[in-house]
Amino acid sequence: MYSSPAIQHPEIETLQAELHNAYPQTILRRAVDMFGDDLVVVTSFQPTGIVTLHMLQEIAPHLTILTVDTNLLFDETYQLMDRLEREWGLNLIRVRPSQSVAEQAQTHGNALWLDEPNKCCELRKVIPLKDALQGYQAWISGVRRDQSASRAETAVVSWDKRNEKVKFCPFATWTESMIWTYIHAYDLPYNALHTQGYTSIGCFPCTQAVQAGDDLRAGRWVNHAKTECGIHVQNPL
């Protein structure tokens, strides 16, 4: 296991070369072996996150899991979270922003997500997660290359400059169809909104269903020049 969070970039390049074509289970095992309790999973309970958590049930069932609860999630998302926490015995920590939605409205104006979505995401997602990651050296994400153009170059292993952590994306090379094949093969639960045209699910004020053939993240922040909340963007918003 690496003894310092300031892992050198050549080490990451070596690890990336070793794992870039590896199966997700291999990548997850390697991450767990390297970092142990200094590793954490971050998930919003999207399909890739469900597959990640299912694989970890055999590899590291007690690994800490962080999920960002903005207090603006869909009821269906909360229901899925509660179900998996209960049925799978997840070691789940719900990361919440410092201000309630009402407090944010008093400070920054009502419905900040309409006028300044970047600011809203920063306050309710990016900053809380950054704070929650402080006690860890590495984290696991469900980002995949096929999700959007901005994610097309996602590495299996990289250095997360924003949070100063090693970042693993075990499913970077998988496709949407591969994820759903796995989910159906193991009869795993998933967000009910996926049957209603929602391909990527975030906060309810900023998420819509999409049309067949649209980009997987086309329903996020519609009418805004925005495709990412900021968590997976290296430069601060």
The residues annotated with a catalytic role in the active site are 229
> Which residues are 64's β-sheet partners?
91
Cα–Cα distance between 99 and 94 in angstroms, integer? 14
**Could you give the angle at which helices 176-185 and 47-59 cross, rounded to 10 degrees?**
50
Phi, psi of 203 (to 5 degrees): -75, 145
Are 95 and 64 in contact by the 8 Å Cβ rule? The answer is no
Helices (H) and strands (E) in the chain, counts: 9, 6
Are 62 and 193 in contact by the 8 Å Cβ rule? The answer is no
CA angle, 208 then 213 then 215, to 5°: 55
Are 3 and 11 in contact by the 8 Å Cβ rule? The answer is no
Q: Give how far Cα 143 sits from Cα of 28, 30, 46, 87, 101, Å.
A: 14, 18, 10, 25, 27
**Could you give the angle at which helices 9-19 and 24-35 cross, rounded to 10 degrees?**
150
Handedness of CA 49, 53, 56, 62 (dihedral sign): positive
